[in-house]
């Protein structure tokens, strides 16, 4: 069984990484300033919590199992994000408070949004955080024009030189339809079955508009556009009025479920990625600390099964 590294918190991760680097419990215990028996117990507990062996222990030494190899990379990422967050938080304590604008669209980073904001506010109480919603016309959620400091975004985004992104998780794209549609009664639908259906299109830059129309999966069949919309609410109103159907992220069902609207799983469609994004030319600690907090929180917070943390 492949381990889920996101059930592992920072301390067990540090113990495991040290053993994996030393491939020797005695040397690893010395580095960690704990006893070897205590370290062995910690690793055993970690393996038990993941229900899989991480290390091969033989008379000739210690080696990583395949599951241990997978976990090692994720554990290092977790520790790195934690170190960045701690460093930036220390810098924040030495400077006066400020306002941080976090751009987003729709449900932002789904259930992860609240966890990130709570973690950030707990460690940066002097920073005033403003969540600012943006229409479909700006998929960068304020980063392109500098009206936001950081943002929750869903690539692909229009490129600009200073844009930087870090993936938080992925989730499936699903089909949103009116309950009056014949599609609503299906347990799933293949994207090829939808080529002639009218779609609700987002008033957005072509790259982002095309992604949500799934043009990459249409085999050169141009989408039929039943309506153009600028916001999530306009999209759902168009669907309920049976002007078209639309692809959306799976978490939409949990945040925007309303009478008359159905969501159908889609086969043959790539997932949607949620990232935290920032401008490389924004050097202020408040923004950089938020990015570090978002990454660290994403790696230690479970999400519904339809979402997969990165």
pLDDT tens for residues 74-122?
A: 888 777 777 666 655 655 555 555 799 999 999 999 999 999 999 999 9
**What is the spatial distance between Cα 230 and Cα 59, in angstroms, rounded to a whole number?**
65
Please answer whether residues 242 and 181 qualify as being in contact, where contact means their C-beta atoms are separated by less than 8 angstroms. Answer: yes
Residue 239 has pLDDT above 60, yes or no: yes
Q: Is the pLDDT of residue 26 over 70?
A: yes
- CA dihedral for 66, 18, 7, 83, sign (positive or negative): negative
Give me the mean pLDDT over the 59-72 stretch.
Answer: 87
Mean pLDDT of the chain: 88
Residues 6 or more apart whose Cβ sits within 8 Å of residue 3 = 50, 51, 52, 54, 67, 70, 71
**Is pLDDT of 54 > 50?**
yes
Q: Give the pLDDT of residue 2.
A: 40
- Looking only at the bridges linking them, the beta strands covering 99-104 and 150-153 are parallel
Structure tokens at 86: 């701690």
Give strand pairing partners of 166. 276
pLDDT at 310 over 70: no
Q: Is pLDDT of 234 > 60?
A: yes
For 250-277, what is the mean pLDDT?
93
pLDDT of residue 160: 87
Of the candidates 196, 204, 269, the one whose C-alpha atom is nearest the C-alpha of residue 232 is 204
- Kindly indicate the confidence band of residue 22, based on its pLDDT and cuts at 50, 70 and 90: confident
Contact 111, 306 (CB under 8 A): no
Average pLDDT over residues 238-261: 93
Q: Average pLDDT of 136-143?
A: 96
pLDDT at 115 (0 to 100): 96
Please check the confidence at residue 142 and state whether its pLDDT lies above 90.
yes
Higher-scoring residue by pLDDT: 212, 77: 212
Cβ–Cβ < 8 Å for 72, 99 = no
Who has greater pLDDT, 140 or 303? 140
Q: How confident is the model at residue 291 (pLDDT cuts 50, 70, 90)?
A: very high
For residues 51-79, average pLDDT: 85
Mean pLDDT of 250-261: 90
pLDDT value for 3: 43
pLDDT number for residue 202:
97
pLDDT grade for 32, boundaries at 50, 70 and 90: confident
State the Cα–Cα distance between residues 90 and 92, nearest whole angstrom: 5
List of domains in the chain: 5-91 (1.10.10.10), 97-168+275-309 (3.40.190.10), 173-267 (3.40.190.290)
Measure Cα distances from 75 to 34, 67, 88, 211 in Å. Answer: 20, 12, 20, 32
Taking residue 70's Cβ as centre, other Cβ atoms within 10 Å add up to 17
Average pLDDT of span 247-252: 95
Question: What percent of the chain has a predicted confidence (pLDDT) above 90?
Answer: 60
The residue-averaged pLDDT of 255-277 equals 94
């Amino acid at each position: 069984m492949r381990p889920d590294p996101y059930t592992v918190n920072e301390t067990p991760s540090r113990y495991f990484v040290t053993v994996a680097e030393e491939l020797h419990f005695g040397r690893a215990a010395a580095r960690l300033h704990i006893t070897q028996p205590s370290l062995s117990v910690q690793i055993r507990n970690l393996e038990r919590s993941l229900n899989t062996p991480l290390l091969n222990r033989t008379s000739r030494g210690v080696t990583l199992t395949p599951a241990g190899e997978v976990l090692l990379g994720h554990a290092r990422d977790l520790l790195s994000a934690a170190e960045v967050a701690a460093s930036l938080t220390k810098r924040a304590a030495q400077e006066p408070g400020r306002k941080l604008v976090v751009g987003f669209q729709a449900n932002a980073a789904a259930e992860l949004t609240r966890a990130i904001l709570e973690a950030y506010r707990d460690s940066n109480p002097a920073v005033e955080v403003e969540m600012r919603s943006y229409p479909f016309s700006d998929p960068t959620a304020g980063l392109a024009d500098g009206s936001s400091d950081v943002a929750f975004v869903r690539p692909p985004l229009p490129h600009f030189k200073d844009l930087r992104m870090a993936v938080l998780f992925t989730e499936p794209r699903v089909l949103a339809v009116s309950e009056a549609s014949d599609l609503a009664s299906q347990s799933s639908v293949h994207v090829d079955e939808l080529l002639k259906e009218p779609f609700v299109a987002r008033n957005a830059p072509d790259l982002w508009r095309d992604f949500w129309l799934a043009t990459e999966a249409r085999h050169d069949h141009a989408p039929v556009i039943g309506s153009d919309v600028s916001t999530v609410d306009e999209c759902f109103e168009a669907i309920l009025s049976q002007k078209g159907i639309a692809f959306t992220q799976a978490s939409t069902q949990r945040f925007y479920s309303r009478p008359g609207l159905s969501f159908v799983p889609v086969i043959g469609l790539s997932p949607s990625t949620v990232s935290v994004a920032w401008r490389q030319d924004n050097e202020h600690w408040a923004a950089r600390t938020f990015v570090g907090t978002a990454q660290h929180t994403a790696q230690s917070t479970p999400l519904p099964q339809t979402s997969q943390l990165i």
